[in-house]
Structure 1
């Protein structure tokens, strides 16, 4: 196998944290166990995805607070928090609190735009202000300012016997440098770069009118545009989040299920989907040697040195243990990665 263009420097994983609605604690505990396993295996990061009004983790920040007390090293991230569901000031307080508790390990990833199923949820979310809520990049700017400690009020800091701060508390220095924007379009990639954020890419992108129907090539172009716009240039951080499933130690039943899972999702990768023109990346399934060859040939992967491989959402806990173990012991080293001590 030819050497990679650049060794993989950081490897993480992303999970949705599914649970049985009749036993939600069991699913949440299983997610915490996976994060602890990830640290034991040497992963650099573990990421949680929001799922509102579904049977997946709806409050990743709360779960990561728990994870921060069961781990000591692994970075903890959200990929991503849809800001349309959040008040930026209140979210900044929660993020800073968890960052303090974790010893500076939190990596919040965010995105903007109206909530999914907006017509169904808007009256519950914003019963009086739905028509005037701003779901643009300005919502991210507000969060960034709050995390950086920009004053939120010029009111007196002492009222009677009580003292008040003019900025979000607690303030966690360094957290602003670990804010990520989850972008899948050229516009989002450039905006994240111009505003000095880190960039989370995933297995879905938005095609522009002149883009080829080639996921890897378009994603690579977005990463280059992000770095061209970023003050840090080539050193700006980008993490890729493809679905990658190693089968080295999988049982015959697991390999069969993994292959069927990827095959069932393959048709959506052949053409843009929906009015937004979304293009999905194929899920990669195979031995670590096979996966490393595919990733080294992937134009988007060749632009990054950090990944947060996405775990399939519907597998069993034992499947995740096998997949993470193969990633850490076989796939990662084949990509030039070394586990953290």
Structure 2
């Protein structure tokens, strides 16, 4: 698209809309109809400019005009319930969907490290001795690991689990302000802890107990952590490689995307905590408990890919309507 020609051809329309917005309190009926029509046309112009131009000044000018015109046309903000529905059917799933390669990469890296460490620990008494005495390891594999899930009341345990999981995810989200650089280390720490426990349990012949207790809640819990890590690292990469758009604009969009992920994961991690508190220690057969965990994971992934792909194909990014196009500066 020839941006200069586009501006010349459409500037009269933008100027007319600006004049109508400024005299919004004295509009006639015909002018109100004209304002609505121009608002729709200029909104289309803004979408075209955003997709075809890196001119931040032009994008910012049209964004402000569209935002002011929208306030006149609607007369009020969208109902709270509408914003709530949009968040769960568009904003959160489309951000998660568009970052799927990042959280898949996080998951692969996590499990590669965990498996390597577990294999190193299992069958290697010298290495195991670095993590505890034989009596301490025996206490862990034969008592502490299983009792951890049932020694506290389910309600308080669910809250404790939610706080712990939220802290790990919050670290990944928080480190996005450092361009995501510390996030691989956070994942490595958790993968190492996971691998050490797995190695000790499998070496003691308790692998079935380990998987039976970890799987029900661990699938969706770790997926949430991988999503948080992926969103944080994606933001960092957007600064390194912003493409053909201004770095400030890309950083602003990805920063708001990270906030959407953080809000959505509050509920996802709460679900993981409920499963860990009420399903993992339940007297249900191991197969039933694992089936519940797999079902929760399938539902979450299905939700993200159904709504996320649908929103992505519709051109949604999950960004706030009429949000600023640049990171604010002092």
TM-score, scaled relative to structure 1: 0.21
- Structure with higher Rg: it is 2
Which structure's residues are more often helix, by fraction?
Answer: 2
Which structure's residues are more often strand, by fraction?
Answer: 1
